Amino acid sequence: MQMFDLWGQVGAYVPLEPPADKTAVRALVGSTSAGRDELRSNATLSVDGSKLRAEVSGVAVGWVPVEVASSYLPVLAALTAQGRLPRVTARINVYDSYQPEDADSAGDGVWVSSYIALAEPHLLQPLNAPPTAAHVELPEGRKQKVAVTVDPSSVDARPWIQPEGAGWVYCSLHAHEEQLARTTREVVQVEVDSVVVGTLTPAMSKNFLPLVKLVAATGRLPVARGLIKGNHLQLEMTVAALKSSEVTQAWLRDNDLTGDNGAGRVPAPDVTDDPIEAAADPAGDDPGPDGAGADAREPGFYADPQGMADERFWDGFDWTSRIRMRPKPAR
């Protein structure tokens, strides 16, 4: 079976029903100290009759509740039939000295609470296949809005319009010279299956052009995840990819993009080019497990790096599931 990372994993965490063998999960987490220990890892989802079992390294860490699993079974069963094993992000909490008051038994001294990140069923996989040409898939990041130019009622747009109102697609990014009245400007053009959907804003394009050009200079196609919403009246699209400055050197090395020929390099944009981005996090770079200045960032709400809400809570070590919208200013 080939591993397949389900898409849309910025969705809410789904609590799992506890596994039968909690001591095996305790050993998986790897700590024997009393109190609370947590493990974050990739988990595979296996169809077991009418149930969905979540496993980490071959150990069952929980079951997706039946009332939730029923809507996911057709999609995941189809993926399994194609030889693809669905994989999600899991959070596993183990308590050695805790027992809820409403527990149905005295317990064995170990309590397991597991969650998996799971989007809506129609957002688990893309609507189209990846490009057949040589390509590089850019790391997923905050969603950036595309100025859509394609006619939503056209034949080209029909495959993207879904009954649920939204769907993920593979999209390719291209450096494009845009003609203005008296001059030209370079922007990032977004295509889906060779159909031009639109462009990123000029300010936002500056953040992606260095990486787009660098990948194109190697003879490969820069590919990202795109989310299309709408109907035959109007379409909206966002591209979920990291900006050039956010991509790690390790990722560049792993994708053979650390050559010294300078291909695709352009001057870094001034942060004032994009007032929305500049105001998103007044404290500086987004904090994160691998982000600059993460150790110095105090716990609190900051601009959400996943783009799900205005702000997400940083606990001093990692992003949490707590989100909120910024209060509107009083008039």
pTM greater than 0.75 (yes/no): no
Of the three residues 71, 93, 123, the one that is the final residue of a domain is 123
Q: Does residue 128 belong to any structural domain of this protein?
A: no
Write out pLDDT tens, residues 102-155. Answer: 444 445 567 888 889 888 899 999 999 999 999 999 998 889 999 999 999 999
Residue 167: pLDDT over 80: yes
Q: Are 171 and 191 in contact (CB under 8 A)?
A: yes
Whole-angstrom distance, CA of residue 154 vs CA of residue 228: 15
Q: Does residue 130 belong to any structural domain of this protein?
A: no
3-state secondary structure 185-229: EEEEEEEECCEEEEEECHHHHHHHHHHHHHHHHCCCEEEEEEEEE
> Which residue shows structure tokens 């300078």?
262
Residue 316's pLDDT band (cuts 50, 70, 90): low
Q: Does residue 266 belong to any structural domain of this protein?
A: yes
Once rounded to an integer, what is the mean pLDDT over residues 262-269? 45
Residue 97: pLDDT over 50: yes
Q: Does residue 329 belong to any structural domain of this protein?
A: no
* Sign, Cα dihedral of 255, 238, 268, 221: positive
CA–CA–CA angle 295, 36, 104 (5° rounding): 150
Q: Does residue 19 belong to any structural domain of this protein?
A: yes
Domain count, the chain: 3
Considering the domain architecture, whether residues 117 and 178 belong to the same structural domain is answered as no
Q: Does residue 159 belong to any structural domain of this protein?
A: yes
Considering the domain architecture, whether residues 10 and 118 belong to the same structural domain is answered as yes
Range of the domain at 312: 279-324
Q: Tell me the HSE value of 145 on the side-chain side, using a 13 A CA sphere.
A: 8
Considering the domain architecture, whether residues 209 and 266 belong to the same structural domain is answered as yes
Whole-angstrom distance, CA of residue 124 vs CA of residue 5: 9
Considering the domain architecture, whether residues 200 and 153 belong to the same structural domain is answered as yes
Cα–Cα distances (Å) from 256 to 250, 261, 315, in that order, read 10, 12, 35
Whole-angstrom distance, CA of residue 51 vs CA of residue 54: 10
Q: Does residue 86 belong to any structural domain of this protein?
A: yes
Q: Does residue 39 belong to any structural domain of this protein?
A: yes
Residue whose C-alpha is closest to residue 54's, from 91, 29, 81: 91
